[in-house]
Amino acid sequence: MCYDFNMNKDVIYIEPEDDITDIITKIENSKSKIVALVPPKKAGVFRSVVNIKLIAKAALAAEKTVVLVTTDPPIMKLAAAIRIPVAKSLQSAPSVPKLEEEAEEVIKEELRESSENTEVQADEEDIASEKKEEKSSEEDSSDDEKTEKTEKMSETAKKKDKKLGNEKSNNKFIRWFNEHRKLATISGVGVLILIVILIWALAIAPAATLMVGIKTNLNNFSEAVGFTTKFDEENADEGKFYLEEKKIETVKKVEFEATGQKNVGEKATGDVVVYTYFKGGGGSVSIKAGARFTLNGLAFTSNEDAVLSWDGKTPSSCENNGQASAFTSGCLISGRIKVTAVEPGEKFNVAASNSGWNTDAPVAVYSDGAMSGGTDEIITVVSKEDVEKAKNELASSDQTENKENLLKEISDNLMVIEASFSQVTEDAISTPAVGEKVESGVKPTLTAKTTAMIYAIDKTKVEEFITEKAKLGENQKIYEIRDPFIENFAKTDSGFAGKLKTSYATGPKVTENDVVEIVKGKGFGQAQHDLRDINGVVSVTIDPSFPWVTSIPSDSNKITVILEIKE
């Protein structure tokens, strides 16, 4: 019988002090059609078959379905006899437990006995009640009424004696069982447990682990191989393997100290006088904006384009004109040009000077007035050197971490070429930017994207290549290939090249299945003897699952074989 236990149900948790009357009252007061009773661990009221029967009757009268939520075996057996459903938990589906025939008969006998005792007790109560009524009405009743009551009491007593006589007439086994019910139940359960233990110990538990030592020889392996990044060019049989590129990209920040300095004060300004002599009378000279003028290493630039020409007022010959040196003849061409210092600073506030000026323009220059307005204001800024240093620091600090994270993402069926690892840090962005002011107490940051990359090849194909090149005998096999690696990995005109190196252990061809087929079903001594007869087997150790196991199981699934390499 099944119930929809997931529908609305009323869950009643029984307290240890609750008696049968309290439980029946809770069932009757429940508003749900399904009532789940959860007994406590020590629920004496639930260990009485009479109480269980009363619970069932109360539920039937109230038109409710009672489910006992318990895993207690005694309660489950009583519930099975009364046909009350049981659930192991509030989430599991309830069902009526099955009961062994022997236990069922015991509980039925207990039910019969309890029923008879109940009836006898009722008869005794009737007799007591009748005696009380007789005494209260003795003075008013007639002799006939007294006689009738006496006969009724006599019939009730006879009925009780008959039931007691029937109980005494039961056979000796039932009487003994009734007198030693607890002992009989415990003995039956004990026998059942003993049978289960014997079945488990002799049929289910036996298993064995065999450690078989195989003598092997260690061989070195070294072979030049090639690599390609194009899948269709792979030829693993010939030692040309396809390179699978694995990479990760990370974006990280690093703080750094700004060491650059910048003068953001005002730039000095002023005028310079430029002049030249143009032979032949007349002519002009052009000076572009940005023309450079220097005095004692301090540079100034012209603010705008300027054109100098002869004014036509001096004599046409314009010879000498009182000048000497390079400009000793020709017409004087001169003009005044506004200039600005190339950098801020008070040092550019220079006095007027008739000499010492140099220029890249085709003129001579001097100043007849001082330069002024230059001021100093030194601030800390990010320099190019600061950014490069932080970039290198970021790349080196991330390299180990990035390599570890990259290796974690590579599956076990791939062989990593560690020599191929590379890392590139690019797109570094400084905040503040290069040349910008860094406020007091603030550290600039460098944000950079780093790409870490490594190559890997198919491990199975590498092992197949090693096995093929080893050229083993017919009765030989490779038991272990020890951590192959690529040495001298480098890029070539045709792809990549390197040298595959490792060591491998070879020995007689013995498989785990061979061992199982030889030993299954045999005693330990015979199994050891038969295995030692195999060429190359130098040791055999058998580890049984339990001390009483003295033979190898016939079931292959209960045999574990471990082949140990003995060099």
Note whether 269 and 199 are same-domain residues: no
Domain-located, residue 149 = no
What is the total count of domains within the chain? 3
Domain-located, residue 254 = no
Domain-located, residue 24 = yes
DSSP string, 460-495: HHHHHHHHHHH---TTEEEEEEEEEEEEEEEEETTE
Domain-located, residue 251 = no
**Which DSSP category does 83 fall into?**
T
Q: At what angle do helices 49-61 and 20-29 cross, to 10 degrees?
A: 20
Note whether 93 and 191 are same-domain residues: no
Domain-located, residue 466 = no
Note whether 279 and 191 are same-domain residues: no
Domain-located, residue 165 = no
Instruction: Supply the pTM of this predicted model.
Output: 0.42
Q: What is the pLDDT of residue 330?
A: 63
| Under 8 Å between Cβ of 241 and 496 | no
Euclidean distance between CA atoms 453 and 244, whole angstroms = 10
Q: What is the pLDDT of residue 130?
A: 44
Cβ atoms within 10 Å of 512's Cβ, excluding its own: 14
Domain-located, residue 219 = no
CATH code, 15? 3.30.750
| Under 8 Å between Cβ of 390 and 446 | yes
Q: What is the pLDDT of residue 165?
A: 46
| Tokens read off for 176 | 């003994």
Q: What is the pLDDT of residue 190?
A: 80
Domain boundary among 44, 64, 99: 99
Q: What is the pLDDT of residue 266?
A: 94
Note whether 196 and 284 are same-domain residues: no
Domain-located, residue 448 = no
Domain boundary among 34, 64, 99: 99
Whether the bond into 432 is cis, omega within 30 of 0: yes
Domain that holds residue 300: 265-376
Domain boundary among 376, 396, 430: 376
Note whether 186 and 276 are same-domain residues: no
pLDDT tens-digit map of 203-252: 666 788 888 888 888 899 999 999 999 999 999 999 999 999 999 888 88
* Residue ranges of the chain with per-residue pLDDT less than 70: 1-7, 99-173, 175, 177, 198, 200-205, 278-283, 310-331, 395-398
**Which DSSP category does 147 fall into?**
H
Burial of 210 from C-beta contacts in 10 A (0-12 / 13-18 / 19+): buried
